[in-house]
Amino acid sequence: MQAQLIALDWGTTSLRAYRLGEQGRVLEQRSLSTGIMQLPTLPAPVAGKLCSDGFELAFEQACGDWLDAQPYLPVIACGMVGSAQGWHEAPYQATPASVDGLSAALVKVRSLRGIDVHIIPGVIQHSALPNVMRGEETQVLGVLAGQLERPHDAQPLLIGLPGSHSKWVQMVQGRIVHFDTFMTGEVYAALCAHTLLGRTMQSAGSLDVEAFERGVAVARSGEGAAGPLSTIFSCRTLGLTGQLSASAQPDYLSGLLIGHELAALSHLLQRQAAVLPAVVLIGSDALCQRYQRALALCDFPTVTLAEQATERGLWQVAQQAGLLAATSVSLNREV
């Protein structure tokens, strides 16, 4: 089947490439470790010339053979490739942000092949404490593309993207109106690897549900009101007093930090409305399952998991920007 679009999710440590066919169907996909901070360094031929540019080399590795087969395919990219440290900076667009606004603000970088790579901007929220995201905005648009009724729905939708820097994005009528960031994943990794807490931990290999839910419960309890800087020490003291095994401590700490994150999020949301909104989660299955379990414990009424959000979002922006309209002309050239 002929492709209609090459879509790239190009982050800090990885590059995922998709060859998309009709209606955004994934025909082929690849995952490379050539994120913007891990670019190739050895010179190699690109477009008949010896090239040492890491972005060009990574682009060639990701989809050079696809472009050999279909030279006129449009290319779109999201993520840190558009940062100040990326291939070409795509300036942040301010909230409220929509697919129309982001599609109109694409930034082009011309590759050595003569192909334009269209980079989607990130989103910035101007406030006393500014907030930014790159790549997540495209995943959010992918969720909306998979729920076509949502952009016209007056009811707010909360989209969660758990990870190193978890994002919680509020959507109203198809627009990103507000988002919050919690560095939960990075803090968890740092505490386990670089503090006293990690000294007594042992890996269990699978989720200890009881320990995880205990951590969530502590975060929501009266003791949790002291905040995470106080309660995280309980990971050590419960171990010292024999109430928490070494293998249970990592999941207890995970539940504790996620519980504090969701308690703070609930507080922020309930200041805006009496009813907590429906939640859609985007991310790895294992992490989303943890958050789904914790969200239920924190009284969020409806939680669903999104699929193929990145691919859908890249397709949605390309379509809105008119890139796909040119594909039929390109295919005729190849014929």
Structure tokens at 267: 């507080």
Q: Would you say the C-alpha torsion 76, 18, 163, 190 has a positive or negative sign? A: negative
Task: Extract the tokens encoding 207.
Answer: 């989720």
Structure tokens at 314: 């890249």
- Sign of CA pseudo-dihedral 313, 170, 300, 276: negative
**Which class for 202: exposed (0-12), middle (13-18), buried (19 or more C-beta within 10 A)?**
exposed
Question: By CB neighbour count within 10 A (0-12 exposed, 13-18 middle, 19+ buried), where does 68 fall?
Answer: exposed
User: What is the rounded CA–CA span in Å between residue 90 and residue 17?
Assistant: 19
Q: Verify cis geometry, omega within 30 degrees of 0, for the bond prior to 96.
A: yes
Helix spans in 271-320 (H): 285-297, 309-320
- For the chain, the structural domain boundaries read 5-147+309-334, 183-270
Single-letter code of the amino acid located at 10: W
The residues, any chain, with a CB within 8 Å of residue 32's CB and separated by 6 or more, are 14, 15, 16, 17, 58, 61, 62
Residue whose token pair is 């998709």: 18
Task: Give the C-alpha separation, 101 to 3, whole Å.
Answer: 26
pLDDT the model gives residue 147: 66
Distance, in Å, from the CA atom of 12 to the CA atom of 186, rounded to the nearest integer, reads: 15
Query: Measured between alpha carbons, how far is 63 from 207 in angstroms, rounded to an integer?
Result: 37
Whole-angstrom Cα distance, residue 250 to residue 253?
Answer: 5
Q: What is the Cα 52 distance to its own chain's centre? A: 30
| Tens-level pLDDT at each residue, the chain (335 residues) | 799 999 999 999 999 999 999 999 999 999 999 999 999 999 999 999 999 999 999 999 999 999 999 999 999 999 999 999 999 999 999 999 999 999 999 999 999 999 999 999 999 999 999 999 999 999 999 998 866 544 445 567 899 999 999 999 999 888 999 999 999 999 999 999 999 999 999 988 899 999 999 999 999 999 999 999 999 999 999 999 999 999 999 999 999 999 999 999 999 998 887 688 899 999 999 999 999 999 999 999 899 999 999 999 999 999 999 999 766 555 545 44
Class at the top of the CATH hierarchy for domain 183-270: alpha beta
Residue type, position 3, single letter = A
Please report the DSSP string for 98-120 in residue order. -HHHHHHT-EEEE-TTSPEEEEP
CA atoms within 13 A on the CB side of 333: 10
Q: 5-147+309-334 adopts what CATH topology?
A: Nucleotidyltransferase; domain 5 (3.30.420)
Spatial distance between the Cα atoms of 136 and 138, rounded to a whole number of angstroms: 5
E strand or H helix at 326: helix 325-334
Q: Would you state the structure tokens that stand for residue 239, as one six-digit string?
A: 């171990």
Establish whether domains 5-147+309-334 and 183-270 are of one fold.
yes
Nearest to 7 by CA among 63, 51, 64: 63
Tokens of 103: 């599609």
